[in-house]
Structure 1
Amino acid sequence: DHEGHQIAQWWNERGVSAFVLHYRLGPEGHHFPTQLADVQRAIRTVRAKAADHHIDPKRIGVMGFSAGGHLASMAATKFDEKAYDASDDIDQASARPDFAVLCYPVIAMASEFAHGGSRKNLLGGEFSPDSPEAKHVSSDLNVTDQTPPTFIFQTDEDVVVPAENAVRFYLALRQHKIPAEMHIYQRGPHGVGLYLGDPITGTWSNLLDTWMRSNALYTPAAKRVAVSGEVFLNGSPVRWGSVTFQPETAGQPIVTARVMGGKFSLPEDQGPSEGKAKLAFSASIWETTQKDADRVIHMEKLSQNDSAPAMIEMKPGISPLKFELSVP
């Protein structure tokens, strides 16, 4: 199952527990809100039994592909909608996912880009795109300020579920200022899954991995530190560049600050995590020197003569920092 167990194995390789939901389907006679009930119950079950599985009940996400992507988007937007009658203590747990991953998702049931087959399967009949029923399950119309951070993967060549579906959901997330990241690859038909055999489109899961880390979803978020300072290269302020803080603690966000006019600054909520971090620099002084020999440099040491990468212990009050880089 390239959109189920293969995906679960991918998560397992990153230390993440994964649960594959076999939800009830429209062609089998099950229609809305049955599918929403299934995913709500699944999220509540995982959250209620989090201690049994040694997982964090505050870092439970939902992921779906194609029609499953629509169900995942409903889980992210309709977690407070009553889809079934409560039956036990599990149903007292929240059904809101803490993040969502949507892959070539069906989204818009009420537009010219709607997937008619999915609409019919979900609703159990012929409903027009402008019907109240279709609008009720169009996830782009249901995004709120409570929708969780979302990662979206799509291909431009997908003619089964056009990219407009993913784009509409992304724009709705932007409208509500929900943290979101979307990647649309030019190549790739509908339903590719991980597609690891493709050297280009198959990189999407690497981007998901990075997104998970940058949002501190792999490990409990550590306290972050406001940081500011200056960067010099061969005595001149770096006119344009960056300084990257890579935490020694696995899973914590890698943070990059842009350097302009020799200075950089990040507020606490965007700064690096407390603890040891490896430094990396990108720097240019050509704008100042106008010398052809002054190229953009990339280095993990303050000097090429240093024997070890540059390290720093991040802690409150450490700023302002001053880094002086030197190259021949």
Structure 2
Amino acid sequence: MKLTFTIFLLILMISKSEAQEVINLYPGKIPNAKVNEVYIETSDTSKTDGNIRIGKVSIPKLTAFYPEKVKADGTSVIICPGGGYRYLSMINEGKAVAKELNKYGITAFVLKYRLPSDEIMIDKTIGPLQDAQQAIKMVRENAAKWNLDSTKIGIMGFSAGGHLASTLGTHYQKSLIDNPKNISLRPDFMILGYPVVTMGTYTHKGSKENLLGKNPSAEDIKLYSNELQVNSDTPPTFIFQANDDKTVPSENSLDLTRALKEAGVKTELHLYQAGGHGFGLHNKSTKESWFDSMISWMEANNFIF
């Protein structure tokens, strides 16, 4: 009997630590979509790093990770994994980060967004942004149901996911989705990890080509260079990156920080001398934790208490 009760407690503890819910992002028709029955989602676990890389996403979803009720403070963060707009790094830049946020009472939503593709989209340049807009609309609409504060919803993104997050944070005025209640699509804050920001000189070429195509117009290059889209209403932003990043040049973070400062937006940049690209939660080159610094920044700006 004692052993049975112990097993029950262990199951209960595991279920609490893994508390999650998978939600279809669109309850009805997916906007900007083309039917393609041979376009099948892929899942790559072949690498030895324990990560899962998801490709060919055509049905976007939100996976909600809920903190223990006694810890929950109403703040929520939507996480956009990176992968060059070619795949999604679902563990390293998704689930692992979500579970860490839960420890601080933050509800996390990992966004499995559609990757830009002419095979399944009428206009691939707006597909990922539509999904990010739908995600924040859904979270804000359901804030009361999920015991969330509708004024403390942040967007977080890594690498190309950082481009998507910063696109939402600078392109929220124009709704690309059905939004009859005119719910605000503006994130209350942004957290960007080694982000692709620009489509200009210092861009990540793979992300640029996957999103905009091989020969994008000058107008599209400017439109999706998010350092050029900052204004005084852009959300407060926390940024971290390694200065030796050979995949996404640190100028992306530096130029965005400069633009935010010039616009009078609260921003904090942590630029490490080493760490490379794609380090997720842990930059092994330093004892400093960007995550701890981020939590301190959130506390200083009253996003968490």
Equivalent in 214, 234, 239 of residue 152 of structure 1: 239
Matched, 1:106 2:193: no
Q: Which has the higher contact order (CA 8 A, sep 6+)?
A: 2
Q: How much does 1:178 deviate?
A: 0.2
CA distance in structure 2 between the partners assigned to 1:172 and 1:199 by the alignment:
28
State the Cα deviation string for residues 215-261 of structure 1 (Å, max 9, x = none). 1101xxxxxxxxxxxxxxxxxxxxxxxxxxxxxxxx2xxxxxxxxxx
Structure 1: runs of 5+ lacking an equivalent: 219-250, 252-328
Partner of 2:212: 123
Q: How much does 1:85 deviate?
A: 3.8
Which protein has the bigger strand share?
1
Q: How much does 1:105 deviate?
A: 0.3
**Kept in 1: contact 2:116–2:127 (CA 8 A):** no
Partner of 1:213: 299
- How large is the RMSD of aligned CA atoms in angstroms? 1.6
Matched, 1:63 2:153: no
Matched, 1:77 2:170: yes
CA distance in structure 2 between the partners assigned to 1:54 and 1:209 by the alignment:
21
Q: How much does 1:127 deviate?
A: 2.2
Partner of 2:281: 194
Partner of 1:284: none
Equivalent in 219, 234, 252 of residue 132 of structure 1: 219
Q: How much does 1:184 deviate?
A: 0.4
CA distance in structure 2 between the partners assigned to 1:125 and 1:95 by the alignment:
30
CA distance in structure 1 between the partners assigned to 2:197 and 2:274 by the alignment:
21
TM-score, scaled to structure 2: 0.67
Partner of 1:183: 270
Partner of 2:144: 51
**Kept in 1: contact 2:196–2:252 (CA 8 A):** yes
Equivalent in 1, 5, 8 of residue 98 of structure 2: 8
SS of residue paired to 1:41:
helix
Partner of 2:26: none
CA distance in structure 1 between the partners assigned to 2:289 and 2:98 by the alignment:
17
Q: Which amino acid aligns with 1:163?
A: S
Matched, 1:162 2:227: no
- The 5-angstrom pairing of residues 219-298 of structure 1 reads 251=305
Count of residue correspondences = 212
SS of residue paired to 1:147:
coil
Q: Which structure is larger by alpha-carbon Rg, 1 or 2?
A: 1
